[in-house]
A and B are shown apart, each in its own frame.
Chain A
């Protein structure tokens, strides 16, 4: 009997070793998925615009940008009169690589919705070089290995002319070589840590220098606080963000009194909360994603370091996450991003109304990720029209320096293959809605790239 028991025990010891290996694999897989600022979710839950827009119209009139796209790009498809000719012939295929399942899957639906608008709006404006566009969606399941397969499918099976991406940096690194080998243009449109440079790539998401350089001094002026605590998940995007934040804070005469990183999936913030409480911080810059953000903020309140005690400047908190925290926790927080659906211009109001008209008042909110995918498609269409071809090198050349006006605001591709774009600061109101309290037009990314 003793013998039997010991054998049993030993075997469970061995299986335990296997288990640790298995669990760390699972944890690693989940880790990479979270890896991404692209985690952030839809913008503010509240507002489902509704009301005043007309029927979901597909005429170019609703969408100022497709119209202006050919206009702003000097060259290309020779003067159409007011009504562009209906596109015909072999379609131009636009692939969209995005996360529609897995941890970041929560951001997938708005992007899938926007794909409809991309087809409609570009075709309504005459297509690309007279050809209609078709969109092809591929889901990376928030997993770089699957992302690579999805990229392969877009390129090999669907034969796309361009890939627009909104997914984790991990997926980008896995999928990029395929685009490079096939010579397919790849526009990565999710906000990310910066530093990407490749002959086939353009990066149109917000980079930390854009989200932070103008906003940090503004935040210090606005609140009078100068002592910052930086708290982030432990991966490249928060680390890069904090590296830059530290420079901007010190340049503005502030001081970083603490910098802490926690693993993705952290559930207990008690020790961290205590460190923050003892640090003398007047402002917190939390670069936490998804569930970690919710856990930190809900626990922070009970430790006496909620927003009412120490102001927050967040660079990823979005509508879904803020909604779960609830207005009692979030009221007063500031968030810096390149797009909120509350952006105040006529084109955006119309666009947002049309979005909710089409997909329902309770549709997952249109937010910075879906907005950047839309802008990337318009940029591509404008560049391909200007180039008169969909050939990668020619379109890439036409993209550099291209300017457009979209619901986001005025945007321009920089020489570093990133995007000069407006940056908005939203303040969470006591009813949980987002109010844009400051906007910085045409913020330049601090990037360099000569592929």
Chain B
């Protein structure tokens, strides 16, 4: 029973991490149709923000909002200078953002060197709840991640800005013709996507190594979540993260981590086959 509770909590923390990492990609890729291969590097930069905050003696908690601000500005600048010019050509965005990801890694290497960095856990130790001991920081991570995801979902579904973005997603030309300033909306959407990636980076920083390559590992997971959860609807990220986290935790529990990786890739392939049919069905 305790083992099951722990495994559920593990699954929940995996879900929260995946969800907040994939959220930005859900906006940029799922909604806007921009394939951003530099999304992992946004997470990496977020983690470096928390390292800089720590190195300067400030609290780790400051790094979460700060990473959001830094990445919003950076994301906005990238949208203005790069994405805006090519976003209608998916093949070009793949190449451009791939190049961007290489650039960002190299810049990180120039600034911080290749050495591993780390930030100490701000709340070390474990908390007893539901009859089991579970790391305190993971409870905090789950809380913040869920709050960020919910807030973003609300912003995109309930606010006027969300309505604008959805109008652009539905039909860019018609939206423009109706007087919607698609440029600003795109800028904000991309910036918000980057900002949530920054938050993700700051949140996971105390759980592992910070290095220029650190973002690479997050990219496949984030794409998996978006693919499994489905395009066009941001809440798909939640569904996708839930399914991927469930599969991963379950397979690790019953088999091992290597099979878990294989299983989640298999899941993506299967879902894509299925989804393709359903999309064609819907368009008929």
| A interface residue numbers (CB < 8 A to B) | 1-13, 15-20, 22-24, 26-27, 30, 103, 105-106, 234, 260-263, 265-268, 270-272, 274, 278, 290-291, 294-295, 298-299, 301-304, 320-321, 323-326
Contacts and interface: CB of A to CB of B under 8 A. Distances in A.
B170 interface: yes
Nearest to A14: B276
B115 A13 contact: no
Interface string B112-130: 0011111011001110000
Given A19-B223, A294-B208, A301-B124, A267 B217 contact: yes
Interface stretch (B63-71, B144-152, B156-164, B256-264): B256-264
B208 A13 contact: no
Interface residues of B, number: 67
B205 to A, nearest CB: 10
Contact of B265 (A20, A26, A271, A278): A20
Given A15-B94, A234-B257, A291-B214, 7 more contacts: A2-B283, A22-B37, A105-B114, A263-B258, A271-B252, A294-B208, A295-B207
B13 A295 contact: no
Interface string B1-36: 001001100100110010000000000010001010
B60 interface: no
B133 interface: yes
B232 to A, nearest CB: 6
Contacts of A304: 126, 133
B35 A6 contact: no
Contacts of B209: 290-291, 294-295, 321, 324
B121 A271 contact: no
Contact of B94 (A17, A22, A294): A22
B105 to A, nearest CB: 10
A106 B213 contact: no
B67 to A, nearest CB: 17
B211 A272 contact: no
B249 A271 contact: yes
A106 B209 CA distance: 14
A9 B231 CA distance: 7
Contact of B170 (A5, A7, A278, A299): A5
Interface stretch (B74-82, B134-142, B181-189, B190-198): B134-142
A20 B135 CA distance: 33
Contact of B280 (A10, A263, A324): A10
Contacts of A10: 276, 279-280, 283
A274 B7 contact: yes
Contacts of B37: 22
A260 B259 CA distance: 12
17 contacts: A5-B283, A12-B231, A15-B90, A16-B272, A17-B272, A24-B220, A105-B114, A265-B216, A271-B7, A298-B121, A302-B124, A302-B126, A302-B136, A302-B137, A304-B126, A321-B209, A325-B118
Contacts of B241: none
Given A1-B171, A6-B283, A295-B209, A274 B257 contact: no
A267 B276 contact: no
A265 B170 CA distance: 37
Nearest to B173: A4
Contacts of A105: 114
A261 B257 contact: yes
Interface in B78-92: 90-91
Given A2-B283, A9-B231, A302-B121, A272 B216 contact: no
A133 B253 CA distance: 56
B257 A262 contact: yes
Contacts of A260: 256-257
Nearest to A8: B33
A2 B284 CA distance: 9
